[in-house]
Structure 1
Amino acid sequence: MADVNTIRSTTGARATQIDVGLRAHMNKVYGTMSVGMLITALAAWAISGLATTTDPALAAAQMGNGTMLTGLGAAIYTSPLRWVIMLAPLAFIFLGWGALLRRANAGTVQVAFFGFAALIGLSMSSIFLMFTSLSIVQTFVVTAIAFASLSLYGYTTKRDLSGMGTFLMMGVIGLLVAMVINIFLQSPAMMFAISAIGVLVFAGLTAFHTQEIKSTYVAHASHGDQDWLDKAAYDGALSLYISFLNMFQFLLMFMGQQE
Protein backbone atom coordinates (compact mmCIF):
# COMPACT_ATOMS: atom_id res chain seq x y z
CA MET A 1 0.00 0.00 0.00
CA ALA A 2 1.39 3.39 -0.98
CA ASP A 3 1.45 5.93 1.82
CA VAL A 4 3.42 8.88 3.09
CA ASN A 5 6.46 6.64 3.53
CA THR A 6 6.58 6.39 -0.25
CA ILE A 7 7.08 10.14 -0.35
CA ARG A 8 9.91 9.95 2.15
CA SER A 9 11.65 7.25 0.13
CA THR A 10 11.59 9.48 -2.94
CA THR A 11 14.59 11.75 -3.07
CA GLY A 12 14.98 15.49 -3.22
CA ALA A 13 12.75 17.78 -5.22
CA ARG A 14 10.48 14.96 -6.37
CA ALA A 15 9.51 14.15 -2.79
CA THR A 16 8.72 17.80 -2.11
CA GLN A 17 6.68 18.02 -5.29
CA ILE A 18 4.59 14.98 -4.35
CA ASP A 19 4.10 16.28 -0.81
CA VAL A 20 2.88 19.66 -2.05
CA GLY A 21 0.75 17.98 -4.69
CA LEU A 22 -0.88 15.76 -2.06
CA ARG A 23 -1.99 18.75 -0.03
CA ALA A 24 -3.40 20.42 -3.13
CA HIS A 25 -5.14 17.18 -4.11
CA MET A 26 -6.80 16.80 -0.70
CA ASN A 27 -7.89 20.46 -0.76
CA LYS A 28 -9.50 19.79 -4.16
CA VAL A 29 -11.25 16.70 -2.80
CA TYR A 30 -12.65 18.52 0.23
CA GLY A 31 -13.52 21.61 -1.80
CA THR A 32 -15.40 19.60 -4.43
CA MET A 33 -17.23 17.66 -1.74
CA SER A 34 -18.23 20.89 0.03
CA VAL A 35 -19.63 22.39 -3.18
CA GLY A 36 -21.54 19.16 -3.76
CA MET A 37 -23.04 19.34 -0.27
CA LEU A 38 -24.07 22.95 -0.86
CA ILE A 39 -25.76 22.00 -4.15
CA THR A 40 -27.59 19.16 -2.39
CA ALA A 41 -28.80 21.41 0.43
CA LEU A 42 -30.00 24.13 -1.93
CA ALA A 43 -31.75 21.65 -4.22
CA ALA A 44 -33.49 19.92 -1.29
CA TRP A 45 -34.61 23.22 0.22
CA ALA A 46 -35.82 24.63 -3.11
CA ILE A 47 -37.77 21.51 -4.08
CA SER A 48 -39.39 21.19 -0.66
CA GLY A 49 -40.48 24.85 -0.89
CA LEU A 50 -41.93 24.39 -4.38
CA ALA A 51 -43.67 21.19 -3.37
CA THR A 52 -45.51 22.57 -0.35
CA THR A 53 -48.14 25.20 0.14
CA THR A 54 -50.71 26.28 2.70
CA ASP A 55 -53.18 27.16 -0.03
CA PRO A 56 -55.74 24.32 -0.22
CA ALA A 57 -56.68 25.41 -3.73
CA LEU A 58 -53.21 24.40 -4.93
CA ALA A 59 -52.88 21.30 -2.80
CA ALA A 60 -53.21 17.99 -4.60
CA ALA A 61 -52.49 15.80 -1.59
CA GLN A 62 -51.74 15.98 2.10
CA MET A 63 -49.00 14.25 4.07
CA GLY A 64 -49.63 12.51 7.35
CA ASN A 65 -48.23 15.42 9.38
CA GLY A 66 -50.65 17.90 7.82
CA THR A 67 -48.23 19.36 5.27
CA MET A 68 -50.09 20.42 2.15
CA LEU A 69 -48.62 19.36 -1.18
CA THR A 70 -48.88 20.98 -4.57
CA GLY A 71 -49.17 18.92 -7.72
CA LEU A 72 -45.37 18.86 -7.84
CA GLY A 73 -45.24 17.67 -4.25
CA ALA A 74 -47.79 14.94 -4.88
CA ALA A 75 -45.82 13.77 -7.92
CA ILE A 76 -42.59 13.62 -5.92
CA TYR A 77 -43.77 12.19 -2.61
CA THR A 78 -46.97 10.20 -3.23
CA SER A 79 -46.60 8.74 -6.74
CA PRO A 80 -44.37 6.01 -8.24
CA LEU A 81 -42.02 8.84 -9.25
CA ARG A 82 -40.61 8.73 -5.72
CA TRP A 83 -39.12 5.30 -6.47
CA VAL A 84 -37.42 6.68 -9.57
CA ILE A 85 -35.98 9.53 -7.51
CA MET A 86 -34.80 7.10 -4.81
CA LEU A 87 -33.23 4.57 -7.17
CA ALA A 88 -31.69 6.92 -9.74
CA PRO A 89 -28.69 7.83 -7.51
CA LEU A 90 -27.96 4.14 -6.91
CA ALA A 91 -28.09 3.46 -10.64
CA PHE A 92 -25.70 6.35 -11.23
CA ILE A 93 -23.20 5.03 -8.67
CA PHE A 94 -23.27 1.38 -9.70
CA LEU A 95 -23.79 1.73 -13.45
CA GLY A 96 -22.60 5.14 -14.57
CA TRP A 97 -19.80 6.47 -12.39
CA GLY A 98 -17.18 3.84 -13.21
CA ALA A 99 -17.72 4.26 -16.94
CA LEU A 100 -17.34 8.03 -16.61
CA LEU A 101 -14.03 7.65 -14.79
CA ARG A 102 -12.70 5.36 -17.50
CA ARG A 103 -13.91 7.23 -20.58
CA ALA A 104 -14.71 10.87 -19.79
CA ASN A 105 -12.38 13.79 -19.18
CA ALA A 106 -12.03 15.49 -15.81
CA GLY A 107 -14.41 18.33 -16.71
CA THR A 108 -17.21 15.90 -17.59
CA VAL A 109 -16.63 13.93 -14.39
CA GLN A 110 -16.90 17.15 -12.38
CA VAL A 111 -20.20 18.12 -14.03
CA ALA A 112 -21.54 14.60 -13.44
CA PHE A 113 -20.64 14.82 -9.75
CA PHE A 114 -22.47 18.11 -9.31
CA GLY A 115 -25.45 16.74 -11.24
CA PHE A 116 -25.50 13.75 -8.90
CA ALA A 117 -25.42 16.11 -5.91
CA ALA A 118 -28.48 17.94 -7.28
CA LEU A 119 -30.29 14.63 -7.81
CA ILE A 120 -29.56 13.64 -4.21
CA GLY A 121 -31.00 16.99 -3.11
CA LEU A 122 -34.22 16.13 -4.93
CA SER A 123 -34.42 12.76 -3.18
CA MET A 124 -33.66 14.31 0.23
CA SER A 125 -36.11 17.20 -0.02
CA SER A 126 -38.65 15.35 2.13
CA ILE A 127 -36.53 15.85 5.26
CA PHE A 128 -37.64 19.49 5.29
CA LEU A 129 -41.24 18.26 5.46
CA MET A 130 -40.57 15.66 8.15
CA PHE A 131 -38.10 17.36 10.51
CA THR A 132 -37.76 20.84 11.99
CA SER A 133 -35.20 23.14 10.40
CA LEU A 134 -33.42 23.54 13.75
CA SER A 135 -32.93 19.80 14.21
CA ILE A 136 -31.66 19.47 10.63
CA VAL A 137 -29.08 22.21 11.23
CA GLN A 138 -28.04 20.73 14.59
CA THR A 139 -27.60 17.27 13.08
CA PHE A 140 -25.61 18.71 10.19
CA VAL A 141 -23.22 20.46 12.60
CA VAL A 142 -22.72 17.28 14.65
CA THR A 143 -22.11 15.31 11.45
CA ALA A 144 -19.62 17.89 10.19
CA ILE A 145 -17.62 17.74 13.44
CA ALA A 146 -17.61 13.93 13.47
CA PHE A 147 -16.70 13.77 9.78
CA ALA A 148 -13.80 16.22 10.18
CA SER A 149 -12.41 14.23 13.13
CA LEU A 150 -12.71 10.88 11.36
CA SER A 151 -11.24 12.16 8.11
CA LEU A 152 -8.33 13.74 9.98
CA TYR A 153 -7.71 10.40 11.66
CA GLY A 154 -7.74 8.61 8.31
CA TYR A 155 -5.27 11.13 6.88
CA THR A 156 -2.80 11.14 9.76
CA THR A 157 -2.88 7.59 11.16
CA LYS A 158 0.05 5.29 10.44
CA ARG A 159 -2.23 2.28 10.82
CA ASP A 160 -3.12 0.54 7.55
CA LEU A 161 -6.93 0.75 7.24
CA SER A 162 -7.16 -1.08 3.93
CA GLY A 163 -8.30 -4.28 5.65
CA MET A 164 -11.44 -2.49 6.84
CA GLY A 165 -12.71 -1.88 3.32
CA THR A 166 -14.23 -5.30 2.56
CA PHE A 167 -15.75 -5.59 6.03
CA LEU A 168 -17.34 -2.14 5.82
CA MET A 169 -18.72 -2.70 2.32
CA MET A 170 -20.32 -5.92 3.57
CA GLY A 171 -21.86 -3.78 6.28
CA VAL A 172 -23.28 -1.40 3.66
CA ILE A 173 -24.84 -4.31 1.75
CA GLY A 174 -26.29 -5.65 4.98
CA LEU A 175 -27.77 -2.25 5.78
CA LEU A 176 -29.42 -2.02 2.34
CA VAL A 177 -30.96 -5.47 2.74
CA ALA A 178 -32.19 -4.67 6.25
CA MET A 179 -33.71 -1.36 5.11
CA VAL A 180 -35.58 -3.06 2.26
CA ILE A 181 -36.93 -5.70 4.67
CA ASN A 182 -38.00 -3.02 7.13
CA ILE A 183 -40.03 -1.27 4.44
CA PHE A 184 -42.45 -4.18 4.85
CA LEU A 185 -41.96 -4.84 8.57
CA GLN A 186 -42.05 -1.19 9.70
CA SER A 187 -40.29 -2.18 12.94
CA PRO A 188 -39.12 0.78 15.12
CA ALA A 189 -36.60 -1.48 16.90
CA MET A 190 -35.13 -2.64 13.62
CA MET A 191 -34.97 0.95 12.36
CA PHE A 192 -33.11 1.97 15.52
CA ALA A 193 -30.59 -0.84 15.00
CA ILE A 194 -30.15 0.09 11.33
CA SER A 195 -29.51 3.72 12.27
CA ALA A 196 -26.94 2.86 14.94
CA ILE A 197 -25.07 0.40 12.71
CA GLY A 198 -25.28 2.83 9.79
CA VAL A 199 -23.56 5.60 11.75
CA LEU A 200 -20.73 3.23 12.73
CA VAL A 201 -20.29 1.81 9.23
CA PHE A 202 -20.08 5.19 7.51
CA ALA A 203 -17.88 6.59 10.28
CA GLY A 204 -15.43 3.80 9.48
CA LEU A 205 -15.76 4.41 5.74
CA THR A 206 -14.92 8.10 6.24
CA ALA A 207 -11.54 7.24 7.76
CA PHE A 208 -10.97 4.40 5.28
CA HIS A 209 -11.73 6.47 2.19
CA THR A 210 -9.58 9.36 3.38
CA GLN A 211 -6.56 7.11 3.71
CA GLU A 212 -7.38 5.46 0.39
CA ILE A 213 -7.54 8.84 -1.38
CA LYS A 214 -4.16 9.77 0.08
CA SER A 215 -2.59 6.44 -0.87
CA THR A 216 -4.03 6.54 -4.40
CA TYR A 217 -2.57 9.99 -4.96
CA VAL A 218 0.90 8.96 -3.81
CA ALA A 219 0.87 5.83 -5.99
CA HIS A 220 -0.18 7.65 -9.18
CA ALA A 221 1.82 10.82 -8.56
CA SER A 222 4.97 8.73 -8.31
CA HIS A 223 4.37 7.68 -11.93
CA GLY A 224 3.30 11.14 -13.12
CA ASP A 225 -0.24 10.00 -14.00
CA GLN A 226 -1.77 13.48 -13.84
CA ASP A 227 -4.78 12.76 -16.06
CA TRP A 228 -5.99 10.08 -13.70
CA LEU A 229 -5.29 12.23 -10.64
CA ASP A 230 -7.57 14.99 -11.95
CA LYS A 231 -10.47 12.51 -12.11
CA ALA A 232 -9.43 10.74 -8.91
CA ALA A 233 -10.06 13.94 -6.95
CA TYR A 234 -13.72 13.83 -7.99
CA ASP A 235 -13.90 10.11 -7.26
CA GLY A 236 -12.52 10.76 -3.78
CA ALA A 237 -14.94 13.65 -3.27
CA LEU A 238 -17.84 11.34 -4.18
CA SER A 239 -16.70 8.68 -1.70
CA LEU A 240 -16.46 11.18 1.17
CA TYR A 241 -19.68 12.91 0.10
CA ILE A 242 -21.59 9.62 0.30
CA SER A 243 -20.09 8.81 3.72
CA PHE A 244 -20.99 12.27 5.06
CA LEU A 245 -24.51 12.13 3.65
CA ASN A 246 -25.26 8.72 5.10
CA MET A 247 -23.87 9.63 8.52
CA PHE A 248 -26.10 12.72 8.45
CA GLN A 249 -29.21 10.75 7.51
CA PHE A 250 -28.68 8.05 10.11
CA LEU A 251 -27.91 10.62 12.82
CA LEU A 252 -31.03 12.55 11.83
CA MET A 253 -33.08 9.48 12.74
CA PHE A 254 -31.69 9.84 16.28
CA MET A 255 -31.52 13.62 16.67
CA GLY A 256 -34.23 14.91 14.35
CA GLN A 257 -37.38 16.42 15.80
CA GLN A 258 -40.39 15.81 13.61
CA GLU A 259 -42.70 18.59 12.45
Structure 2
Amino acid sequence: MNDIDIKSSNNLLRKVFLYMILGIAISFGTGAYLLYFNQGLLYTLFDYYQFLVIAELAMVFSISFFINKISAGLARILFLAYSLINGITLTVIGLIYAPQIIFYAFMITLTIFIVTAIYGYTTQEDLSSYRRFFMIALISLIALSIFNAFMRVGMLEWVITIAGVVIFTGLIAYDVNRIKAISYQLADGDNETMEKMGIIGALNLYLDFINLFIYILRIFGRKK
Protein backbone atom coordinates (compact mmCIF):
# COMPACT_ATOMS: atom_id res chain seq x y z
CA MET A 1 0.00 0.00 0.00
CA ASN A 2 1.52 3.36 -1.05
CA ASP A 3 0.90 6.91 0.13
CA ILE A 4 -1.61 7.53 -2.68
CA ASP A 5 -3.68 4.51 -1.61
CA ILE A 6 -3.68 5.66 2.02
CA LYS A 7 -4.66 9.21 1.04
CA SER A 8 -7.45 7.93 -1.22
CA SER A 9 -8.73 5.64 1.53
CA ASN A 10 -8.75 8.45 4.07
CA ASN A 11 -10.49 10.85 1.67
CA LEU A 12 -13.29 8.41 0.87
CA LEU A 13 -13.81 7.34 4.48
CA ARG A 14 -13.87 10.99 5.51
CA LYS A 15 -16.65 11.68 2.99
CA VAL A 16 -18.56 8.57 4.06
CA PHE A 17 -18.52 9.38 7.76
CA LEU A 18 -19.24 13.08 7.27
CA TYR A 19 -22.31 12.31 5.15
CA MET A 20 -23.41 9.58 7.55
CA ILE A 21 -23.09 11.86 10.59
CA LEU A 22 -24.96 14.60 8.72
CA GLY A 23 -27.73 12.15 7.81
CA ILE A 24 -28.12 10.90 11.37
CA ALA A 25 -28.10 14.47 12.70
CA ILE A 26 -30.85 15.45 10.24
CA SER A 27 -32.95 12.40 11.15
CA PHE A 28 -32.71 12.76 14.92
CA GLY A 29 -32.93 16.54 14.73
CA THR A 30 -36.09 16.36 12.64
CA GLY A 31 -37.61 13.78 14.97
CA ALA A 32 -36.79 15.79 18.08
CA TYR A 33 -38.20 19.00 16.59
CA LEU A 34 -41.49 17.38 15.57
CA LEU A 35 -41.85 15.42 18.79
CA TYR A 36 -41.10 18.18 21.26
CA PHE A 37 -41.81 21.44 19.43
CA ASN A 38 -44.38 20.82 16.69
CA GLN A 39 -46.58 17.80 17.35
CA GLY A 40 -49.37 19.36 15.32
CA LEU A 41 -47.24 19.13 12.18
CA LEU A 42 -46.13 15.64 13.21
CA TYR A 43 -49.67 14.27 13.35
CA THR A 44 -50.48 15.99 10.06
CA LEU A 45 -47.50 14.27 8.44
CA PHE A 46 -48.56 10.95 9.96
CA ASP A 47 -51.69 11.15 7.80
CA TYR A 48 -49.31 10.55 4.89
CA TYR A 49 -47.20 7.91 6.64
CA GLN A 50 -47.56 5.28 3.91
CA PHE A 51 -46.52 7.77 1.25
CA LEU A 52 -43.49 8.78 3.31
CA VAL A 53 -42.40 5.14 3.62
CA ILE A 54 -42.83 4.62 -0.13
CA ALA A 55 -40.79 7.78 -0.78
CA GLU A 56 -38.04 6.47 1.51
CA LEU A 57 -37.88 3.15 -0.32
CA ALA A 58 -37.80 4.92 -3.68
CA MET A 59 -34.89 7.11 -2.59
CA VAL A 60 -32.86 4.20 -1.22
CA PHE A 61 -33.57 2.21 -4.40
CA SER A 62 -32.54 5.14 -6.60
CA ILE A 63 -29.24 5.69 -4.81
CA SER A 64 -28.39 1.99 -4.51
CA PHE A 65 -29.21 0.87 -8.05
CA PHE A 66 -28.76 4.01 -10.15
CA ILE A 67 -25.72 5.57 -8.50
CA ASN A 68 -23.75 5.24 -11.75
CA LYS A 69 -26.49 6.92 -13.80
CA ILE A 70 -27.31 9.91 -11.60
CA SER A 71 -25.10 12.86 -10.74
CA ALA A 72 -23.34 13.22 -7.41
CA GLY A 73 -25.46 16.30 -6.75
CA LEU A 74 -28.72 14.38 -7.21
CA ALA A 75 -27.43 11.49 -5.09
CA ARG A 76 -26.58 13.97 -2.35
CA ILE A 77 -30.05 15.54 -2.48
CA LEU A 78 -31.71 12.11 -2.37
CA PHE A 79 -29.65 11.03 0.64
CA LEU A 80 -30.36 14.20 2.60
CA ALA A 81 -34.05 14.06 1.68
CA TYR A 82 -34.16 10.42 2.77
CA SER A 83 -32.56 11.35 6.11
CA LEU A 84 -35.19 14.05 6.60
CA ILE A 85 -38.15 11.80 5.78
CA ASN A 86 -36.72 8.96 7.86
CA GLY A 87 -36.51 11.39 10.76
CA ILE A 88 -40.25 11.94 10.39
CA THR A 89 -41.13 8.25 10.29
CA LEU A 90 -38.80 7.44 13.19
CA THR A 91 -40.67 9.80 15.51
CA VAL A 92 -42.92 6.81 16.19
CA ILE A 93 -40.08 5.65 18.45
CA GLY A 94 -40.39 8.82 20.52
CA LEU A 95 -44.10 8.18 20.99
CA ILE A 96 -43.44 4.66 22.26
CA TYR A 97 -40.27 4.87 24.35
CA ALA A 98 -39.18 7.22 27.14
CA PRO A 99 -36.52 9.83 26.17
CA GLN A 100 -33.87 8.44 28.54
CA ILE A 101 -34.29 4.95 27.11
CA ILE A 102 -33.84 6.33 23.59
CA PHE A 103 -30.70 8.14 24.74
CA TYR A 104 -29.24 5.01 26.36
CA ALA A 105 -29.99 2.93 23.26
CA PHE A 106 -28.39 5.58 21.05
CA MET A 107 -25.21 5.67 23.14
CA ILE A 108 -24.96 1.88 23.16
CA THR A 109 -25.45 1.85 19.39
CA LEU A 110 -22.83 4.56 18.93
CA THR A 111 -20.31 2.65 21.05
CA ILE A 112 -20.87 -0.60 19.15
CA PHE A 113 -20.67 1.27 15.84
CA ILE A 114 -17.35 2.94 16.66
CA VAL A 115 -15.71 -0.26 17.94
CA THR A 116 -16.97 -2.35 15.03
CA ALA A 117 -16.06 0.27 12.42
CA ILE A 118 -12.52 0.44 13.79
CA TYR A 119 -12.28 -3.33 13.54
CA GLY A 120 -13.58 -3.28 9.96
CA TYR A 121 -10.99 -0.70 8.99
CA THR A 122 -7.95 -2.10 10.81
CA THR A 123 -8.42 -5.84 10.27
CA GLN A 124 -6.12 -7.45 7.73
CA GLU A 125 -8.84 -9.95 6.84
CA ASP A 126 -10.81 -9.43 3.65
CA LEU A 127 -14.41 -9.48 4.87
CA SER A 128 -15.85 -9.63 1.34
CA SER A 129 -15.97 -13.43 1.71
CA TYR A 130 -18.85 -12.94 4.17
CA ARG A 131 -21.03 -11.19 1.59
CA ARG A 132 -23.19 -14.25 0.86
CA PHE A 133 -23.61 -14.97 4.57
CA PHE A 134 -24.85 -11.46 5.30
CA MET A 135 -27.18 -11.49 2.29
CA ILE A 136 -28.79 -14.76 3.40
CA ALA A 137 -28.95 -13.60 7.02
CA LEU A 138 -30.55 -10.28 6.07
CA ILE A 139 -33.14 -11.87 3.79
CA SER A 140 -33.97 -14.43 6.49
CA LEU A 141 -34.32 -11.65 9.07
CA ILE A 142 -36.74 -9.73 6.85
CA ALA A 143 -38.76 -12.87 6.08
CA LEU A 144 -39.03 -13.83 9.76
CA SER A 145 -39.97 -10.26 10.70
CA ILE A 146 -42.81 -10.25 8.15
CA PHE A 147 -43.97 -13.67 9.33
CA ASN A 148 -43.94 -12.64 12.98
CA ALA A 149 -45.76 -9.39 12.24
CA PHE A 150 -48.80 -11.57 11.58
CA MET A 151 -48.18 -14.47 14.00
CA ARG A 152 -46.99 -12.44 17.02
CA VAL A 153 -44.83 -15.20 18.55
CA GLY A 154 -43.10 -13.76 21.62
CA MET A 155 -40.08 -16.07 21.59
CA LEU A 156 -39.56 -15.56 17.87
CA GLU A 157 -39.68 -11.79 18.38
CA TRP A 158 -36.83 -12.12 20.88
CA VAL A 159 -34.80 -14.29 18.48
CA ILE A 160 -35.35 -11.80 15.65
CA THR A 161 -34.23 -8.92 17.86
CA ILE A 162 -31.00 -10.62 18.97
CA ALA A 163 -30.31 -11.74 15.40
CA GLY A 164 -30.86 -8.18 14.19
CA VAL A 165 -28.25 -6.84 16.61
CA VAL A 166 -25.72 -9.48 15.55
CA ILE A 167 -26.36 -9.07 11.81
CA PHE A 168 -26.18 -5.28 11.71
CA THR A 169 -23.14 -5.23 13.99
CA GLY A 170 -21.43 -7.54 11.51
CA LEU A 171 -22.61 -5.45 8.57
CA ILE A 172 -20.94 -2.36 10.02
CA ALA A 173 -17.55 -4.10 9.99
CA TYR A 174 -18.26 -5.58 6.56
CA ASP A 175 -19.33 -2.27 5.00
CA VAL A 176 -16.38 -0.30 6.43
CA ASN A 177 -14.00 -3.00 5.20
CA ARG A 178 -15.64 -2.91 1.75
CA ILE A 179 -15.49 0.90 1.57
CA LYS A 180 -11.80 0.72 2.46
CA ALA A 181 -11.21 -1.77 -0.36
CA ILE A 182 -13.16 0.38 -2.84
CA SER A 183 -11.13 3.44 -1.86
CA TYR A 184 -7.93 1.74 -3.04
CA GLN A 185 -9.54 1.04 -6.41
CA LEU A 186 -10.50 4.71 -6.70
CA ALA A 187 -7.00 6.01 -6.05
CA ASP A 188 -6.90 7.45 -9.58
CA GLY A 189 -10.63 8.11 -9.80
CA ASP A 190 -12.26 11.47 -10.48
CA ASN A 191 -13.95 13.61 -7.83
CA GLU A 192 -17.46 12.84 -9.15
CA THR A 193 -16.99 9.10 -8.69
CA MET A 194 -15.40 9.60 -5.27
CA GLU A 195 -18.35 11.77 -4.21
CA LYS A 196 -20.87 9.15 -5.36
CA MET A 197 -19.08 6.37 -3.51
CA GLY A 198 -18.98 8.57 -0.43
CA ILE A 199 -22.75 9.02 -0.56
CA ILE A 200 -23.65 5.37 -1.15
CA GLY A 201 -21.15 4.31 1.52
CA ALA A 202 -22.77 6.76 3.93
CA LEU A 203 -26.21 5.39 3.07
CA ASN A 204 -25.13 1.83 3.83
CA LEU A 205 -23.59 2.76 7.18
CA TYR A 206 -26.55 5.00 8.01
CA LEU A 207 -28.90 2.05 7.46
CA ASP A 208 -26.66 -0.21 9.55
CA PHE A 209 -26.65 2.33 12.39
CA ILE A 210 -30.39 3.02 12.38
CA ASN A 211 -31.34 -0.65 12.22
CA LEU A 212 -28.89 -1.55 14.98
CA PHE A 213 -30.32 1.29 17.08
CA ILE A 214 -33.89 0.02 16.60
CA TYR A 215 -33.00 -3.56 17.58
CA ILE A 216 -31.03 -2.42 20.63
CA LEU A 217 -33.97 -0.24 21.62
CA ARG A 218 -36.20 -3.32 21.52
CA ILE A 219 -33.87 -5.14 23.90
CA PHE A 220 -33.29 -2.43 26.47
CA GLY A 221 -36.30 -0.22 25.94
CA ARG A 222 -39.27 0.05 28.23
CA LYS A 223 -42.33 1.44 26.54
CA LYS A 224 -44.11 4.49 27.95
TM score, norm. by length of structure 1: 0.80
User: Is the contact made by 2:5 and 2:184 (CA closer than 8 Å) also made in structure 1?
Assistant: yes
Counterparts of 2:163 and 2:197, CA distance in 1: 29
1:18-167 matches, cutoff 5 A: 18-49=5-36, 52=39, 73=43, 76=46, 81-94=48-61, 96-98=62-64, 100-167=66-133
Counterparts of 1:194 and 1:234, CA distance in 2: 29
- Of all paired residues, the percent bearing the same amino acid is 25
* Alignment CA distance shift 1:161-1:177 (3 Å): same
Deviation at 1:97, TM superposition (A): 1.4
Counterparts of 2:136 and 2:183, CA distance in 1: 25
* Alignment CA distance shift 1:71-1:239 (3 Å): closer
**Which one-letter code corresponds to 2:30 in the other structure?**
A
In structure 2, list runs of 5 or more residues that go unmatched. none
**Which one-letter code corresponds to 1:88 in the other structure?**
A
Deviation at 1:227, TM superposition (A): 2.5
Counterparts of 2:150 and 2:50, CA distance in 1: 15
Q: Alignment RMSD, CA only?
A: 1.9
SS of equivalent residue, structure 2 residue 67: helix
In structure 1, list runs of 5 or more residues that go unmatched. 1-7, 9-14, 53-69
Counterparts of 1:40 and 1:178, CA distance in 2: 27
Deviation at 1:27, TM superposition (A): 1.5
2:224 is aligned with 1:224: no
Counterparts of 2:152 and 2:53, CA distance in 1: 18
- Given the alignment, which residue of 195, 217, 238 partners 2:161? 195
* Alignment CA distance shift 1:75-1:254 (3 Å): same
- Given the alignment, which residue of 134, 139, 144 partners 1:178? 144
1:254 is matched with: 219
Counterparts of 2:80 and 2:15, CA distance in 1: 14
- Number of residue equivalences: 224
Structure with bigger gyration radius = 1
Deviation at 1:75, TM superposition (A): 6.2
Deviation at 1:71, TM superposition (A): 8.3
* Alignment CA distance shift 1:75-1:199 (3 Å): same
Higher RCO (C-alpha 8 Å, min separation 6): 2
User: Is the contact made by 1:168 and 1:205 (CA closer than 8 Å) also made in structure 2?
Assistant: yes
**Which one-letter code corresponds to 2:25 in the other structure?**
L
SS of equivalent residue, structure 1 residue 102: coil
Q: Which has the larger share of helix? A: 2
